[in-house]
């Protein structure tokens, strides 16, 4: 058992690496990467890190030299032999050889591409530019590095026993959550908390606590490295970046309207079963489902990642019924801003009506709210997104205007093209 507090206290190494492996990343990144590598290998993209919580002055908290060291260390990682073996030999979602030999050969030779870092006031501008399959792999490590350096900056001011008690409190809190979740009959829940985790060691602890505390109700983690270390399932499907980039590349409004479906058509060819999960909210769930081709209704399920989750789930159920599908055989994955109360509520509301599962993120792996003065360890809203593709800006609308991204004229155009009406503005928790 690692003594996390002691470890944190002992961080006087030249560098204590935050990202220790190329697969210390979300599983869906690798699935998407394979798809992009196959379908759009030459697209040029720019990914950019955006701190939505401006009140947290990252550039004042985090030393630029240390940030560069961590980013450079991540760039020094290549796939190890054991990791390659695991990816090649493992069963993912019941399927062997999820990753093709062509992809694996490419991945085995990959290093993360260069980054651009500049301080702008109290924030950092961190951007990644290059071929899509390479650049996209920066998202998760870049977020994890920034999140953990911020944690470390705060922890560096604390005494040894204060640290131990801090982790004692965080452990107690998580365990109390697990004890509540244990009471939910038929729960299925996964760890989706890599990107905004408090730290690598803490995420690893959380996963182990979920394994012991929840048994079969804990279905796995999105983090490949931890899935491998702890011998559990790697979980994930696809994300907004696919429709965002495909849409940016569309030449006309008509093309644009079809872009999100084209993404899923490519995915349909590559994956089956539990990997056929629709993420409908990139440009508004309502319009997306209304205009969707019938074959999409045959997919296994839907992931609800923005807007009011109960509303999103009701929309999906209604849509399946309209398309002649039986909702009780469909899967809804909730993954936006979850904590125990919300999980209990959604499970009570939808279990039985559909198959329900949860991707629990930041409030699993980074709930340090209220544990230090000024709430200096509270999680915050950091994202790393594709901002352009082949020189054209990307746009995301989602079901919550507070999560929208992109130049305002393009946002307006997308709203028109995708026929997005009035949207409810919801606070972005994490």
Give the interface with its own copies as residue ranges (CB under 8 A).
1-2, 159-162, 164-165, 167-169, 171-172, 175, 208-209, 212-213
User: Residue 233's Cα: distance from chain center in Å?
Assistant: 16
In whole angstroms, the minimum distance from the beta carbon of 30 to its own copies comes to 25
In whole angstroms, the minimum distance from the beta carbon of 75 to its own copies comes to 23
Closer to its own copies by Cβ: residue 205 or 380? 205
Closer to its own copies by Cβ: residue 2 or 44? 2
In whole angstroms, the minimum distance from the beta carbon of 205 to its own copies comes to 8
SS (H, E, C) the chain: CCCHHHHHHCCCCCCCCCCCCCCCCEHHHHHHHHHHHHHCCCCEEEEEEEECCCCCCHHHHCCHHHHHHHHHHHHHCCCCHHHHHHHHHCEECCEECCCCHHHHHHHHCCCCCCEEEEEECCEEEEEEEEEHHHHHHHHHHHHHHHHHHHHHHHHCCCCHHHHHHHHHHHHHHHHHHHHHHHCCCCCCEEECCCCCCCCHHHHHHHHHHHHHHHHHHEEEECEHHHHHHHCCCECCCCCCHHHHHHHHCCCCHHHHHHHHHHHHHHHHHHCCHHHCEECCCCCCHHHHHHCCCHHHHCCCEEEECCCCHHHHHHHHHHHHHHCCCCHHHCEEEECCCCCHHHHHHHHHHHECCEEEEEEECHHHHCCCCCCCHHHCCCCCCEEEEEEEECCEECCECCCCHHHCECCHHHHHHHHHHCCCCCCCCCCCCC
In whole angstroms, the minimum distance from the beta carbon of 169 to its own copies comes to 5
416: its two tokens? 């028109």
Closer to its own copies by Cβ: residue 10 or 328? 10
Q: What angle do CA 43, 47, 50 make, to 5 degrees?
A: 160
In whole angstroms, the minimum distance from the beta carbon of 202 to its own copies comes to 13
In whole angstroms, the minimum distance from the beta carbon of 19 to its own copies comes to 16
Task: Give the span between the Cα atoms of 248 and 259, in whole angstroms.
Answer: 9
Closer to its own copies by Cβ: residue 29 or 225? 225
In whole angstroms, the minimum distance from the beta carbon of 194 to its own copies comes to 19
Closer to its own copies by Cβ: residue 109 or 374? 374
In whole angstroms, the minimum distance from the beta carbon of 232 to its own copies comes to 15
Closer to its own copies by Cβ: residue 205 or 283? 205
Closer to its own copies by Cβ: residue 173 or 268? 173
Closer to its own copies by Cβ: residue 23 or 248? 23
Task: Give the span between the Cα atoms of 193 and 26, in whole angstroms.
Answer: 9
In whole angstroms, the minimum distance from the beta carbon of 174 to its own copies comes to 8
In whole angstroms, the minimum distance from the beta carbon of 81 to its own copies comes to 20
Residue in 69, 58, 54 with CA at minimum distance from that of residue 150 = 58
Closer to its own copies by Cβ: residue 104 or 211? 211
Closer to its own copies by Cβ: residue 231 or 427? 231
In whole angstroms, the minimum distance from the beta carbon of 193 to its own copies comes to 17
Closer to its own copies by Cβ: residue 206 or 331? 206
Task: Give the span between the Cα atoms of 360 and 221, in whole angstroms.
Answer: 9
Contact criterion met (CB below 8 Å) for 99 and 34: yes
């Amino acid at each position: 058992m690692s003594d996390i507090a002691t470890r944190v206290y002992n961080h006087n190494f030249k560098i204590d690496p935050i990202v220790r492996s190329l697969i210390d990343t979300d599983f869906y990144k690798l699935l998407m990467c394979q798809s992009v590598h196959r379908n759009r290998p030459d697209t040029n993209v720019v990914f950019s890190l955006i701190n939505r919580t401006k009140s947290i002055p990252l550039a004042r908290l985090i030393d630029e030299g240390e940030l560069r060291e961590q980013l450079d260390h991540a760039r020094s990682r290549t796939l190890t032999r054991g990791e390659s073996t695991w990816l090649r030999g493992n069963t993912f979602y019941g399927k062997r050889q999820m990753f093709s030999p062509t992809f694996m050969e490419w991945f085995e030779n990959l290093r993360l591409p260069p980054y651009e870092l500049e301080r702008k006031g109290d924030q950092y501008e961190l951007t990644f530019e290059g071929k899509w399959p390479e650049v996209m792999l920066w998202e998760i490590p870049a977020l994890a590095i920034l999140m953990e350096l911020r944690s470390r900056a705060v922890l560096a001011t604390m005494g040894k026993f204060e640290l131990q008690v801090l982790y004692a409190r965080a452990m107690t809190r998580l365990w109390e959550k697990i004890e509540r979740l244990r009471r939910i009959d038929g729960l299925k829940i996964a760890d989706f908390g890599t990107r905004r985790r408090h730290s690598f060691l803490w995420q690893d602890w959380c996963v182990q606590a979920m394994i012991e505390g929840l048994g079969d109700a804990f279905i796995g983690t999105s983090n490949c490295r931890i899935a491998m270390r702890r011998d559990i399932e790697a979980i994930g499907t696809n994300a907004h970046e696919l429709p965002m980039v495909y849409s940016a590349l569309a030449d006309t409004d008509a093309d644009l309207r079809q872009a999100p479906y084209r993404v899923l058509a490519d995915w349909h060819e590559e994956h089956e079963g539990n990997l056929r999960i629709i993420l409908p909210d990139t440009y508004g769930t309502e319009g997306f489902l209304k205009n969707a081709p019938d074959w999409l209704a045959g997919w296994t399920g839907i992931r609800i990642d923005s807007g009011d989750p109960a509303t999103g789930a009701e929309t999906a159920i209604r849509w399946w019924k309209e398309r002649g599908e039986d909702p009780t055989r469909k899967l809804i994955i909730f993954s936006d801003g979850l904590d125990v109360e919300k999980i209990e509520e959604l499970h009570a509301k939808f279990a039985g009506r559909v198959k329900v599962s949860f991707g629990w993120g930041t409030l699993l792996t980074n709930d340090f709210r209220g544990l230090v003065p000024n709430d200096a360890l509270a999680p915050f809203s950091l994202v790393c997104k594709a901002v352009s593709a082949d020189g054209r800006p990307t746009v995301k609308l989602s079901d919550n205007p507070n999560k929208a991204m992109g130049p305002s004229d393009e946002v307006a155009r997308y709203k028109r093209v995708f026929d997005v009406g009035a949207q409810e503005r919801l606070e972005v928790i994490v």
